[in-house]
Amino acid sequence: MFKRLAEAGAAVAITVDDKPVTARDGDTVAAALLAAGVSPCRTTPVTGAPRAPYCMMGVCFECLVTIDGIGSRQACLVPVHAGMTVETQLGKREAGR
């Protein structure tokens, strides 16, 4: 469903849930997750319903993840960088994380 354009940028190594993932320079975290087949990127705190990137422009908040130890970041608004650590958020985020 999600396909890269042929002119994608250079490879960038990131870690998603302790697994190596290759992103592309210029990708947002959400685009990198979709291209790597990571779905869902979070579950809701009340019902546990799965959520994944939807609007890709910061409106819907469905793509919340923990990036470099900071929780509830909108993956569609954060560009990837080499060495980045991304964690999917399952359920309610713990205080201080």
What's the CATH code of the domain at 16? 3.10.20.440
Q: How many residues in the chain?
A: 97
- Render pLDDT for 36-74 as a digit per residue (tens, 0 to 9): 999 899 999 889 999 999 999 999 999 999 999 999 999
**Above 80 in pLDDT, residue 95?**
no
Residue 15 belongs to some domain of the structure:
yes
User: How many distinct structural domains can be found in the chain?
Assistant: 1
Residue 53 belongs to some domain of the structure:
yes
Residue 83 belongs to some domain of the structure:
yes
**Side-chain-side CA neighbours of residue 72 (13 Å):** 9
pTM of the model: 0.87
Q: How many CB atoms lie within 10 A of CB 66?
A: 19
Residue 36 belongs to some domain of the structure:
yes
Mean pLDDT for the stretch of residues 10-35: 95
Residue 74 belongs to some domain of the structure:
yes
Residue 95 belongs to some domain of the structure:
no
3-state SS, one letter per residue, for 5-51: CCCCCCEEEEEECCEEEEEECCCEHHHHHHHCCCCCCEECCCCCCEE
* Domain region containing 39: 11-88
